[in-house]
Amino acid sequence: MLGTLIKHEFKKTWIIMTLICAVTIVLGILGGIFFKLTIDPDFSSEANEFILAFGIIGFAMILSALSMATTIYLVVHYYRSLYSSQGYLSFTLPVSITEVVSSRVIIGFTWSLLVSLSMGLALFAAVGIPGGLAYVKEFYDELISTVEVSQVYKVMILCVFAIIFRSFATLMTYFFCISIGQLWGKHKILGAVLCYFATSFVLMIFSFGFNYRMFFSPDAFTGLDSFEYLATTLVKTIVYSVVTIAIFYGAAIFTSNKQLNLD
Amino acid sequence: MYNLLEIQGLSKSYGNVQALSNINLSIGSGHITGLLGPNGSGKTTLIKIICGLLQPTSGTVLIDGNPVSPQSKAIVSYLPDTTYLDNNMTVEAAIAMFMDFYKDFDANRAYTMLSNLNINPKLKMKTLSKGTKEKVQLILVMSRRAKLYILDEPIAGVDPAARDYILHTIINNYDPSATILISTHLITDVEQVLDEAIFLQYGNVRLYQPVEALRMQSGKSVDELFREVYRC
């Protein structure tokens, strides 16, 4: 039944999420065309540089806004479909509560991944259309002249995984807080917000514990291979994110199974 | 006698407030049972626990021998007292969803009822009036061939003509071997269809008897008896 749940969740969310992905990619293409026109040496002027700077800032801001819109939409959908009146249908379907909650988490992660992919494509278009890929290639050649190719690839792959898992962990944190918030019968949203503050505080302590050496003994990093250090940090980020996801997913499932409270 | 719904020692409290207190009920098959009581008597809480939307503080609920679980939910058709369909969903999408999840769902019956009421299945829920939304939900719920129908205030908030249609739909679309549990405080409208009545008060079962026996013993209609029992 999990497959059927996911199918219906996809049907409910695909219009808005596909729109966000499409807008992101179109924005990348338009941004690329805009950058190509503004950095044209024939039209180089101070005004042009000013417009370019604003264009880059605007582009980054719109991408951030789209990313934020994705998170808000997925979090609101999670809340509405489970803990508002729609939950009366979701939780009376002949499926386990674990499957109901998991379907929302899986759809959330899938869309989050697709939006990240769209962001990547948008950046690729924004850099590639004005001819920026040549500079990227130049930077890459310079990099591999000093570092082993395998190390560069390793860091790149780790970087991609770290970004993906980090965004999943952030989303899962919101989902977990909403699942805890529903325990407050009449003030579910307030409960979720308070839970988020408390969770963030605890996570900050753990994060600090993970990186305490950076704050108290920065000398310990002297002489370290910077690429190796970066790779280690990315691995730590991935492990931290996976553990966070696992704990919050388990807690959201446990809470919904043991303390479902649809007042 | 075989009991479709068996509730034992069921209690639910919210902090210091006791919503249900040691409820014991055995409801057999083939009855239309009224769950009657004033606001705050615990009707909706009891229904939500049976449907798995709330966890009891203590006690057990067995539906056709199963505790509240996907197995019990497969045989319970629940109509809540609020709109539970996504507003962006079309009526036909809701029907498709019910078909996917409930093996006992009869899509033809649903489309016939929609046609009788001139409801366009292509319309989105958000374009429908409150009364029409309630009718759509009732159609979905009554298009299942469930063993237990649980209807929470199905006639509250609709006009008298719609009430008649709803009651007519309920009576004409359930399998006589199934049981219907109707929660309401509009007793006059439902009295004619009830076989049994459960009176809830302050989270306790005040009375549980066949309607005919109630009338015989008290010499009053269920509505009159309700007014007497719950006089403020």
B73, B82, B83 ranked by CB distance to A93: nearest: B73
What confidence score (pLDDT) does residue A37 get?
Answer: 83
For B28, phi and psi rounded to 5 degrees? -85, 180
Contact, B32 vs B177, CB < 8 A? no
- The domain segmentation of chain A, as residue ranges, is 1-131, 146-263
Please, what sign has the CA dihedral across residues A146, A151, A154, A158? negative
Alpha helix positions (H), B39-174 = 43-51, 70-73, 91-101, 107-116, 130-142, 160-172
Tens digits of per-residue pLDDT, A113-126? Answer: 999 999 999 999 99
pLDDT band at A141; cut points 50, 70, 90: confident
Average pLDDT over residues A16-33: 95
Average pLDDT over residues A232-245: 92
What's the CA gap between B196 and B179, in Å, rounded?
Answer: 11
What confidence score (pLDDT) does residue A213 get?
Answer: 67
- Is the predicted pLDDT of residue A177 greater than 70, yes or no? yes
Question: Which residues of chain B carry a pLDDT beneath 70?
Answer: 1, 157, 232
Contact, B7 vs B58, CB < 8 A? no
- Is the predicted pLDDT of residue A221 greater than 70, yes or no? no
Contact, B128 vs B88, CB < 8 A? no
ipTM score of complex: 0.89
A12, A89, A94 ranked by CB distance to B84: nearest: A89
Contact, B164 vs B194, CB < 8 A? no
Between strands B179-184 and B196-201, the pairing is unpaired
What confidence score (pLDDT) does residue A47 get?
Answer: 76
Tens digits of per-residue pLDDT, A153-165? Answer: 888 899 999 999 9
User: Closest-CA residue in chain A for B87?
Assistant: A86
Cα–Cα separations (whole angstroms), residue A254 to A94, A100, A179, A248, A251 = 18, 12, 10, 10, 5
Question: Which residue, chain included where needed, has tokens 């929302």?
Answer: A104
DSSP B69: S
Q: Which of A10, A76, A92 to mutate to test the interface with B (most CBs of B within 10 A)?
A: A92
Cα–Cα separations (whole angstroms), residue A91 to A83, A95, A100 = 9, 8, 7
What confidence score (pLDDT) does residue A42 get?
Answer: 67
Q: What is the pTM of this model?
A: 0.89
Candidate from A5-14, A171-180, B23-32, B181-190 with smallest mean pLDDT: B181-190
Q: Which residues of B touch A94 (CB under 8 A)?
A: 70-71, 73-74, 101-102
What's the CA gap between A134 and A119, in Å, rounded?
Answer: 20
Cβ-proximal residues to A234 (8 Å cutoff; 6+ apart), any chain: A155, A158, A159, A161, A162
* Percentages (nearest 5) of helix, strand, coil residues in chain B: 35, 30, 35
